[in-house]
C-alpha cells in the first residue's frame, strides 16, 4: 500500500510557483494578485482563508482579504466584486463559501469575471470543463488529478466511483475523470445501494463529510482510495474513509489530513499565477 502524500507534492508545487512568481516579477514587473471575499464569522472559513493568505505570502503572491459582516447586503457584496473585477492588480477572485442565507451564492459566483475565476465555479468555466476545453478548474478536483499523476496513476479505462455530487467537488471531479478516460459512477444521498457501486470500483473518490462512510467491506482488493472529506471529531480532523480498515485492501490511499487538503491550496496558487500570465502577461 502506497500513501498518496499531498503534503509532499504541494510543497514541491509551491516551490515551483515561487520561482514562477519571481520570474514574472523580475522579467515583467508583475506580481500575481488574489482577492478573497470572506463574509461572516464562520470559524472554519476564517481558518481556510488564513491558510490561503499565508500560502500566498510564502510564494510571493499579493493577497487581500475583504472581510465583511454577515449582515452585509447582497447588493454590497456584488458591488465589491464589480470593483475587484476592474482592479488591474488583482488576477484572481475567490469567494469563501458558504455565504449567509440572504446572499444568493449563484448571483455572487456569476458576477465574477470569468478570467479571474480561479476557483472555477463560474458557469462559463464549468462549461469549459464539461466540454473538455481550456478554462479554470476547481482547485480540489484538479489537485486530486495532479496527485494521481504524480504517482503515475492513469485512470483511463478504470471504473471510478465518485461519492458526493456537489458543484464544488463531486461534479467537477467526475468531469475530470471522464475527460481522462475513466468510466464514472456518481453516488449521492439518494443512491439506494452504495456498496453495489463501490465494490466494482477500481478507484473510489469520496467527499461528503461523513466519517467512516467508506469501510473495508464495501471496496474490493487493490482499490485506489482518494478521501476528500474532512470532519472535526473532538480535536482530530478525519476523512470519510475508515483508514485503518480500508488501507489494508488499497494499493494507494490518501491520508486525512495530509492528502487532498494541501493540494487544494497549491492548486489555487497555480491558478492565480496562470490568471496573471493570461490577463497581464
Q: Provide CB contacts within 8 A for 24, sequence distance 6+.
A: 30, 31, 32, 273, 276, 277, 281
Residue 281 pLDDT greater than 80, yes or no: no
Which ranges in the chain are annotated with CATH 3.40.50.720? 139-261
DSSP reduced 3-state for 99: coil
Task: Please give the mean pLDDT across all residues of the chain.
Answer: 97
Residue with cell 478516460: 181
Query: Which of these CATH numbers, 1.20.120.1770, 3.40.50.10860, 3.30.43.10, 3.40.50.1820, describes 29-113?
Result: 3.40.50.10860
Per-residue pLDDT band for 126 (boundaries 50, 70, 90) equals: very high
Q: Average of pLDDT values for 169-178? A: 98
* 128 counts as catalytic: no
Catalytic hit among 91, 96, 113, 116 = 96
Q: What percent of the chain has pLDDT over 70?
A: 100
- Burial of residue 245 (number of CB atoms within 10 Å: 0-12, 13-18, 19+): middle
DSSP reduced 3-state for 252: strand
pLDDT at 43: 87
Which ranges in the chain are annotated with CATH 3.40.50.10860? 29-113
Handedness of CA 246, 248, 253, 257 (dihedral sign): positive
The tally of CA atoms less than 13 A away on the side-chain side of residue 228 is 25
The domain covering 139-261 belongs, at the CATH homologous superfamily level, to NAD(P)-binding Rossmann-like Domain (3.40.50.720)
Residue 168 pLDDT greater than 90, yes or no: yes
pLDDT at 165: 97
* 119 counts as catalytic: yes
pLDDT at 214: 98
pLDDT at 107: 98
pLDDT at 159: 98
What CA–CA distance (Å, rounded) separates 97 from 117? 14
* 52 counts as catalytic: yes
Residue 87 pLDDT greater than 80, yes or no: yes
- Across the chain, how many H-helices and E-strands are there? 10, 11
Catalytic hit among 91, 117, 119, 202 = 119
Amino acid at each position: 500500500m502506497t500513501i498518496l502524500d499531498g503534503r509532499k507534492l504541494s510543497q514541491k508545487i509551491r516551490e515551483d510557483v515561487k520561482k514562477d512568481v519571481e520570474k514574472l516579477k523580475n522579467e515583467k514587473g508583475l506580481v500575481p494578485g488574489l482577492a478573497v471575499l470572506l463574509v461572516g464569522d464562520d470559524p472554519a472559513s476564517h481558518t481556510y482563508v488564513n491558510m490561503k493568505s499565508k500560502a500566498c505570502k510564502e510564494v510571493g503572491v499579493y493577497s487581500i482579504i475583504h472581510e465583511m459582516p454577515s449582515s452585509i447586503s447582497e447588493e454590497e457584496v456584488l458591488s465589491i466584486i464589480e470593483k475587484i473585477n476592474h482592479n488591474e492588480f488583482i488576477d484572481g477572485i475567490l469567494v469563501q463559501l458558504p455565504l449567509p442565507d440572504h446572499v444568493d451564492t449563484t448571483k455572487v459566483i456569476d458576477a465574477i469575471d470569468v478570467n479571474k475565476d480561479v476557483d472555477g465555479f463560474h458557469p462559463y468555466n464549468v462549461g469549459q470543463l464539461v466540454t473538455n476545453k481550456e478554462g479554470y478548474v476547481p482547485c480540489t478536483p484538479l489537485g486530486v488529478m495532479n496527485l494521481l499523476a504524480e504517482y503515475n496513476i492513469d485512470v483511463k479505462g478504470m471504473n471510478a466511483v465518485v461519492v458526493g455530487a456537489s458543484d464544488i467537488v463531486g461534479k467537477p471531479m467526475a468531469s475530470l475523470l471522464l475527460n481522462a478516460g475513466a468510466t464514472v459512477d456518481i453516488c449521492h444521498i439518494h443512491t439506494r445501494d452504495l456498496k453495489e457501486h463501490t465494490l466494482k470500483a477500481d478507484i473510489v473518490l469520496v467527499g461528503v463529510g461523513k466519517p467512516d462512510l467508506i469501510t473495508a467491506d464495501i471496496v474490493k482488493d487493490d482499490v485506489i482510495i482518494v478521501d476528500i472529506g474532512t470532519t472535526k471529531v473532538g480535536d482530530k480532523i478525519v476523512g470519510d474513509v475508515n483508514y485503518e480498515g480500508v488501507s489494508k485492501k488499497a494499493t494507494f490511499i490518501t491520508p486525512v489530513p495530509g492528502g487532498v487538503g494541501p493540494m487544494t491550496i497549491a492548486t489555487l496558487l497555480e491558478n492565480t499565477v496562470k490568471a496573471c500570465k493570461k490577463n497581464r502577461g
